[in-house]
Amino acid sequence: MRLKTRTILALAALMLMVLCSPLQAAERAAETPVKIRLVHDDNEVIIALFDNPAARDFLSMLPLTAEFSDFADTEKISYLPRKLQTAGSPSAREIGPAFTYYAPWGNLAVFYPGSGHDGRPCPLGPLESRNASLALPRGPLMA
């Protein structure tokens, strides 16, 4: 009976070690996106960054103050202090309300609702805040 109890306890301990291993904890952490705040005036937009090279490079630049301006009545853009590393990052054909990076020009871009694009922006992450795109008024802003 004691041997059976010890075996069960040993198996339970082994299962706990496997379920709580550092590798699995790291995998669970990698599945949880890093969230950043884009703050301007009294508005805040939450962005859940994707796990791609461009988003990780952008994250390395934070904290950052950026000046966003209207571009072509379709999006808000802001130029970064340097271009992001985009090798291995996806481009997006269809972007909902998203925080993106336009590699050819080296600028961040947030498209207004209903605006189109040429498919080249690299998605950095979705805008998660309620009415996020409405929180970005037309006209220049500092964030």
**Total length of the chain:** 143
Q: Say what the pLDDT of residue 96 is.
A: 63
**pTM, full prediction:** 0.70
Phi then psi dihedrals of residue 11, to 5 deg? -65, -40
pLDDT digits (tens, 9 = 90+) for 64-121: 999 888 898 888 899 999 999 999 988 766 556 688 999 999 999 988 776 666 667 8
State yes or no: pLDDT of 129 exceeds 50: yes
Closest Cα partner for 68 from 95, 34, 45, 51?
Answer: 45
pLDDT digits (tens, 9 = 90+) for 6-54: 433 333 333 334 444 444 444 544 568 899 998 877 788 889 999 999 9
Q: Say what the pLDDT of residue 95 is.
A: 57
Round to whole Å and give the CA distance between 2 and 21.
28
Round to whole Å and give the CA distance between 58 and 102.
12
Round to whole Å and give the CA distance between 83 and 102.
10
